[in-house]
A and B are shown apart, each in its own frame.
Chain A
Amino acid sequence: MTMSNSQDSVSDNVTGSGLTQELTQELSQKLAKAPKLNRLFRLQFEKAQDCHVLLFPEGMIKLNPSAAEILTRVDGVKTQQEICDELRVAFPDAPEDLDEDVKAFLLHAEEKKWVVYVE
C-alpha cells in the first residue's frame, strides 16, 4: 500500500484583484447560487492544529481563520450573497471589500474542488 499526506496552508491573501471581465460576470451570477462542500471533503476543527481543516482520502488541508469563517457557512442552502451578509454582520469592522474577498475565495475553493454548485 502507499500513503500520501497533503498539507498546504491557504494563503491569507486570496483577493479579488486582477479578475477578468468574464470572471467578474461569472462571479455575479454565482452570487445567487448556494455553494456546498464537495462530498470528497470533511470540514472540522482540529485542536492539535489549532485550526479548521479539510479532510479527504488520506490527506488534510489546513485552513486559515478567514477561509474557515467562510467554509463553515457553506451548507448548500445559503447563497454566496447570504454568506457575505452573514459575515458582514459577524465582522462589522471588516474592510468594505469583504464581499470581493469572499467571492474570490469561493472561486479559489471551487477551482480546488472543495466546493461545488448544484445547477
Chain B
Amino acid sequence: MSNEVSQDTITPPLWLLAEITYQCPLHCPYCSNPVNMEETHNELSTDHWKRVLTEAREMGAVQLGFSGGEPLLRKDLEQLVEHARELGFYTNLITSGIGMTEKRIAKLKEAGLDHIQLSFQAANAEINDLIGNKRHSFEQKLKIAKLVKQYDYPMVLNFCITAQNIHEIEDVLALSTTLNADFVELATVQYYGWAYENRDHLLPTAAQLKEAEDAVNRYRAKQQDSGPKFIFVTPDYYESRPKACMNGWGSTFLTVTPDGSALPCHSAKILPLTFPNVKARSVHDIWFNDFSFNHFRGDSWMPSPCKDCDEKDKDFGGCRCQAYLLTGDMNKTDPVCSKSPDHHLMKSITDKAGEKPSKAIKYRSVDKKTRCEYGLNASQSYAI
C-alpha cells in the first residue's frame, strides 16, 4: 500500500513518552507493557536518552513523561530530568512510588521535575498489595503522597479501575481527598499487554461501571469546587464509537521504549510492522520518514466503513492495536464502532464480564519462568 502522506501535513510530536526501563518492583496484572519484555537488558544509555530528548524538543515536543516499568529504577533519572528541563520540557514522572525516598524527591525537585503522577492499585493495603503483588507497597505509597505534597509538586493520583477494585470506588474518592491530590485519574483499564491477557479477571460488568460512575458523580456534586478534580475514563469495550486513539496515529504522540524502539503509541510493538530504533536514526527522520509512522497517517489507509464515514476525522478509525488484537487485522475498523462488521465481538466479550475466568491470572513479570505462577496468594485474586 502506498503512503500518500505529504510531508507538509505531518505535525510535530507534542508528547514524548520515555519508557526508560521495563523493570518494575510491582507485578500488576493490568500493566500495559508488552507481555514479552525479554529485551529489557538492552536499555538505552544516558547519552542516548539525552540525544532523544534534545531531538524531540527541537521538533516541538513539550510534554515529557518519564515512565516504564518503574522509572525510579534508573539511577540517571535526575540527570535526564535536569537535561529535559534545560530544554524547556514540562516533565512528568509517572511512578508507583516504590523506591522513592525523601532524598530523591528533593533531588528531583532541584533537577526541575514539574509533576509527579503516583499510582495506587486500591484504596486499602490488602487489595493494593495483592494487585501489585508486593507487601507494604500501600504504606509506601501513602508516605510518598505526603512527600509529593510536602515538596509542592502538583500531584496526580492514578487508580487503574478493574473488576478487582471497582466495588470500592467510594474509598478511592475519599482517600484521594484525604491525600489532597490535585487531579485523580480513575482509569478504567484498557485491554493491551498484560491487561489483555488477564481481561477475564479485570473487565467490570456494565452494571458495576454504571454504579461506579454514579458514585463519582454523586461525590463531585458534593465537592463544591474544592478537593481533587476527578477524571473518570470509561472503557471503550462498552462504547459504540471508538476512541480517537493517540489523537491520530503519528500526529501527537511518540513513545520510545527502553531498548530505543520508536513507536506511535506504547502498545504498537505488537503490530506486524517493523518499528525504527533511535540508536540508528534521528527522531526527526523517524517521525517524518519512517514507513511505520506514515502507515496509518491521514485517511488513505482506511477500510470501509471508515473511509466513507463522516466521523473519520473525529476518531481516526479508532485504535490499530485493538483492531489487531480483536480481529487479527490491524487495517480494520476498530470493532468498538457499532458500524464495524466485527462489532459483535465486543458483545461476546462484555457478555462474559463477571463470569468466573477459565484460566489463572498472570502477574506481570519480566522473567518468563515465573510469569504465570506468581501471586502473594494467587487463589485470593478470585475473591476480590
Contacts and interface: CB of A to CB of B under 8 A. Distances in A.
A39 B59 CA distance: 27
A44 B88 contact: yes
Interface stretch (A15-23, A55-63, A77-85, A99-107): A55-63
Q: Is the interface of A mostly helix, strand, loop or mixed?
A: loop
B226 to A, nearest CB: 12
A39 B182 CA distance: 11
Contacts, number: 67
B176 interface: no
B65 interface: yes
Interface string B136-162: 000000000000000010101010000
Which residue among A42, A44, A48 has the maximum number of chain B CB atoms within 10 Å of its CB? Answer: A48
A13 interface: no
B233 A2 contact: yes
Q: Is the interface of B mostly helix, strand, loop or mixed?
A: strand
Nearest to B61: A48
B92 A57 contact: yes
A88 to B, nearest CB: 31
Contacts of B119: 1
B158 A2 contact: yes
A4 interface: yes
A1 B15 CA distance: 14
A4 B115 CA distance: 14
Contact of A56 (B15, B152, B154): B154
Given A58-B63, A60-B14, A1 B94 contact: yes
B252 interface: yes
A4 B156 CA distance: 12
A26 B158 CA distance: 37
Given A4-B231, A44-B88, A60-B63, A55 B114 contact: yes
B37 interface: no
Given A39-B152, A55-B90, A60-B14, A48 B62 contact: yes
Contact of B182 (A3, A40, A42, A44): A40
A57 B115 contact: yes
Indicate the size class of the contact surface on chain B: 20 to 34
A46 B15 contact: no
B185 interface: yes
B310 to A, nearest CB: 23
Interface string A58-93: 111000000000000000000000000000000000
A57 B117 contact: yes
A39 B63 contact: no
Nearest to B60: A48
A55 B247 CA distance: 18
Contacts of B247: 5
B90 A5 contact: no
A49 interface: yes
A55 B183 CA distance: 15
Which residue among A39, A42, A46, A56 has the maximum number of chain B CB atoms within 10 Å of its CB? Answer: A56
A48 B12 contact: yes
Nearest to A48: B60
A66 to B, nearest CB: 22
A47 B247 CA distance: 21
Contacts of A34: none
B187 A46 contact: no
Contact of A57 (B183, B233, B266): B183
A1 B158 contact: yes
Contact of A60 (B62, B114, B115, B253): B62
Contacts of B115: 56-58
6 contacts: A2-B233, A48-B62, A53-B62, A55-B114, A56-B154, A59-B63
The 7 nearest A-B residue pairs measured at CB: A48-B60, A55-B90, A57-B115, A2-B187, A40-B154, A57-B156, A57-B154
